[in-house]
Every structure is written in structure tokens, then in C-alpha cells.
């Protein structure tokens, strides 16, 4: 059975897109749309598939439910030959990869496959894929205790040593210095934290799922 975890943060940022995704999955694949992954990860049965759009959701589900298959929605779409891609008519985007996607080569590939099928032109950064250090301000702040409590191996064992804690003022300075390279160009990303960080630095940024599930005229 197919379960969709829409991500609390993504749903808050893009409520209409989140609804369109849920409706598409329910209508075409009889998927079950859940809410927050913290209680929701208990609902799938062994052998079921969980679709995620959030790096934290992915980590929580993988750590707590090794008996189910967790896959990013973008990977699932890239492997789906019947997905109805909108046509972006050659629109150009700088692609911002996510630090927390390091090691997820199938996700990196899927993102680029999806953008190609959208008829978008991708501009790669030098620090792309496993070389990226960017995840908005995620690594500048302490791990949330509720995340440590539910997935300690990932949030405390893996992520905590990789943090670079700093003040809010320093965070903004680092964001603006990093984002100066975009020079007003459109940026596409696929991580909630990345998108918040880009917008905090006044970058013209969009989540890839908003391009895949636009409002219909």
C-alpha cells in the first residue's frame, strides 16, 4: 500500500500544492495521505511504501520503520512513466542541492530527470550533489529535542557533529554571502530548509514540487 507524508513544513509553505499532490496520489494510486510523520510513521504495515518530501521525515521514517520502503516523491515521479509533466518551455533555473541529501544519489539523479522532463534548463553549481554544504539555516541551529527523541541516530549521532552553530545575525550574513552568487537568477530546490534559507536571503527561489503541481487555469 502507498502512503504519502506531505511534510508539515512543506504543507505550511505550499498548502495548495500539497493538496494537489495528495489529491493526485489518492485519485490515481489509492494512496493514503497522512499528517505529521512523528505519529504517522506507525500507520503503514510492513512491506508498505512511504513517499516523503522532507529530509527530516525521511530520516525519522527510515530510523523507526526499516520494515517499510521509504522513497522521496521526486524519485517515485521520475520512475513513473505516466506522470503528466507540465511544460516549462525551456525556463532556466540554477539548481540548489541540499546538504542533507548527501549520499542520496538516486535523489540527485531524479531531480535532474524531473527537471529535464519539465523542459527546464538547469544551471549546475560547482558545489553540487555531494559537494554542497547548503541547507538554509538548518546546520546553524541546535537540533530540535523532539527530533533527537524520535530519531537519535540521525539527529544526534549523525547531524549534531556537522552543525556550525552561530547567532541569527551571523546566519543572515552567511546566507547573504552564499546567495550573492545567484545574482538575481531563478533558483529551484527540493528541500524545505533550503527554500526558507534562499528566500530569507531574498533569492527568487521555488520548490520543485510547485513546478510539478502548478495551479490549473
- Residue range 13-27, pLDDT digits in tens: 999 999 999 999 999
pLDDT of residue 190: 98
The pLDDT value given to residue 153 = 98
Under the banding of pLDDT at 50, 70 and 90, the label for residue 217 is low
For the segment 147-165, the average pLDDT, to the nearest whole number, is 97
Please check whether residue 155 lies inside any domain of the structure.
no
Q: How far is CA 6 from the centre of its chain?
A: 11
* Number of domains present in the structure of the chain: 1
Q: Is residue 151 part of a domain?
A: no
Supply the DSSP symbol for 93. Answer: E
Q: Does 102 map to a domain?
A: yes
Q: Is residue 132 part of a domain?
A: yes
Of 138, 132, 77, 83, which Cα lies nearest the Cα of 107? 77
Query: Which domain does 11 fall in, by range?
Result: 2-137+167-212
Answer yes or no: are the C-beta atoms of 71 and 49 closer than 8 Å.
yes
**What residues pair up with 135 in beta bridges, in sequence order?**
137
Q: What is the mean pLDDT of the chain?
A: 97
Encode 164-196: b = buried (16+ Cβ within 10 Å), e = exposed.
eeeeeeebbebbeebbeebeeeebbbbbbbbbb
Asked whether residue 78 is domain-assigned, the answer is yes
Question: Which band of pLDDT confidence, cut at 50, 70 and 90, is reported for residue 90?
Answer: very high
Is residue 161 assigned to a domain? Answer: no
**Mean local confidence (pLDDT), 114-127:** 98
Confidence of residue 216 (pLDDT cuts 50, 70, 90): confident
Q: pTM of the predicted model, to two decimals? A: 0.96
State the average pLDDT over residues 192-208. 98
Mean pLDDT on 73-84: 97
Q: State the average pLDDT over residues 195-213.
A: 98
Stretch 36-56: mean pLDDT, rounded?
97
pLDDT of residue 162: 97
Domain assignment of residue 94, yes or no:
yes
Is 144 a domain residue? no
Q: What is the mean pLDDT of residues 121-126?
A: 98
Amino acid at each position: 500500500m502507498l502512503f504519502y507524508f506531505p511534510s508539515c513544513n512543506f504543507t505550511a509553505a505550499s498548502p495548495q500544492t500539497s493538496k494537489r499532490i495528495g489529491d493526485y496520489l489518492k485519485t490515481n494510486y489509492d494512496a493514503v495521505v497522512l499528517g505529521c510523520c512523528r505519529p504517522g510513521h506507525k500507520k503503514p504495515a510492513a512491506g508498505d511504501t512511504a513517499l516523503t518530501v522532507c529530509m527530516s521525515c525521511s530520516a525519522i521514517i527510515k530510523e523507526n520503520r526499516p520494515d517499510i520502503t521509504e522513497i522521496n516523491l521526486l524519485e517515485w515521479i521520475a520512475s513513473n512513466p505516466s506522470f503528466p509533466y507540465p511544460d516549462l518551455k525551456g525556463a532556466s533555473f540554477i539548481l540548489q542541492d541540499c546538504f542533507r541529501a548527501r549520499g542520496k544519489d538516486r535523489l540527485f539523479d531524479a531531480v535532474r530527470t524531473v527537471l529535464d522532463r519539465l523542459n527546464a534548463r538547469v544551471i549546475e553549481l560547482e558545489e553540487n550533489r555531494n559537494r554542497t554544504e547548503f541547507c538554509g539555516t538548518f546546520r546553524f541551529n541546535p537540533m530540535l529535542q523532539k527530533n533527537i527523541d524520535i530519531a537519535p541516530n540521525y539527529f544526534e549521532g549523525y547531524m549534531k557533529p556537522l552543525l556550525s552553530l552561530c547567532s541569527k545575525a551571523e546566519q543572515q550574513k552567511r546566507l547573504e554571502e552564499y546567495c550573492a552568487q545567484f545574482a538575481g537568477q531563478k533558483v529551484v530546490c527540493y528541500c524545505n530548509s533550503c527554500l526558507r534559507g534562499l528566500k530569507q536571503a531574498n533569492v527568487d527561489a521555488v520548490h520543485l514540487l510547485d513546478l510539478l503541481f502548478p495551479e490549473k487555469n
